Amino acid sequence: MKTILTFVGGGDRDPVILQTALAAALPLSAHLDCLHCHVPAGQAARYARLEFASGAALRNAIDSLEANTNVFSELAAKNVREFCTNARIEMCDTPTGGRGVTVSFREDASNALERLTLHAGRSDLVVMGRARQRQGLAPETLEHLALHCGRPILVAATASPHTLTDTIMVCWNESGGAVRAATAATAFLTKARRVVFVSVTKLEAQVKDTLNGLAGQYSGNGVSTEVRVVPASGRRLPEALANTAAECRASLVVMGAYTRPRFRELLFGSSTEALLDAIDRPILLMH
């Protein structure tokens, strides 16, 4: 992983997102490509609940949204500059290669999901916040990118991490998403101090053999590995995994994302969204 696309919105969540991106970049000597979406007022109005505004009220609301987008743009650039100053990181337009972590900042005049997907597809990793925000990204951006960009997405927690590679918890459920997530996280897993492979299941013996096989792939590289099979025992999956992450003191959680068919998510809710709500730790997602 050499290029990490990092979304900055010009809000109070930017420092945590930037610190999360830095924690990912440090063990990889990667370049942080910080992107701010400068959203035109017309697009911002879609999420501002202006359905019932008209006349002068609508014009005033649009003017206010336009002013806000300019403020968010200025704040995003300021947040990145301050982050680089505090972390003593060089700002440059392109990766320098072999010189440690570098940072660039750019803007896009649209938050169209197709454009964001294109940006993400040109990167090795995407870093963004999980909370709904008003600085540019549409509410469905995380899900859309996870489903369509083909890259792992690192979702920041509410607090800045010191490292992502102390203890990494890998959630396993025999799905293709879990396989792809573990593969996508290899760059971090091979540098981790400790990796814990976790499955919540009733098939303890069968799954434990699989987890032991996975653990063996990394223990040979000097990484301390551990296997935990958590009995389902009537608990909801998000609760069980959140408790296990706390017990492990996981600095990063790795899991497959949005693996349910879309119609099932509409009927029963998204298990990925439930896990994001339950586990307040950096989470690496891969569809």
CA angle, 215 then 163 then 246, to 5°? 65
- Angle between helix 55-87 and 14-25 (nearest 10): 40
CA angle, 239 then 243 then 249, to 5°? 145
Token match 């005049």: residue?
109
Percentage of the residues of the chain whose pLDDT score is greater than 70: 80
Tell whether the torsion through CA atoms of 96, 97, 102 and 104 is positive or negative.
Answer: positive
Domain extents for the chain?
A: 3-155, 167-286
- What's the rounded Cα separation, in Å, for the pair 136 and 134? 6
Question: Is 222 exposed, middle or buried (CB count within 10 Å of its CB: 0-12, 13-18, 19+)?
Answer: exposed
- CB within 8 A of 177, min separation 6: which ones? 255, 256, 257, 258, 259, 286, 287
Helix (H, G, I), strand (E, B) or coil at 98: coil
Give this prediction's pTM.
0.87
- What's the rounded Cα separation, in Å, for the pair 282 and 252? 5
Digits of tens for pLDDT over the chain (287 positions)?
899 999 998 889 999 999 999 999 999 999 999 999 876 655 655 555 544 445 665 556 556 656 667 888 899 999 999 999 999 998 987 766 667 899 999 999 887 889 999 999 999 999 999 866 555 677 788 888 999 999 999 999 999 999 999 999 999 887 888 899 999 999 999 999 999 999 988 767 778 888 888 888 887 677 899 999 988 776 688 899 999 999 999 999 999 987 654 433 433 335 788 889 999 999 999 99
CATH number attached to the domain at 3-155: 3.40.50.620
The CATH H-level superfamily of 167-286 is HUPs (3.40.50.620)
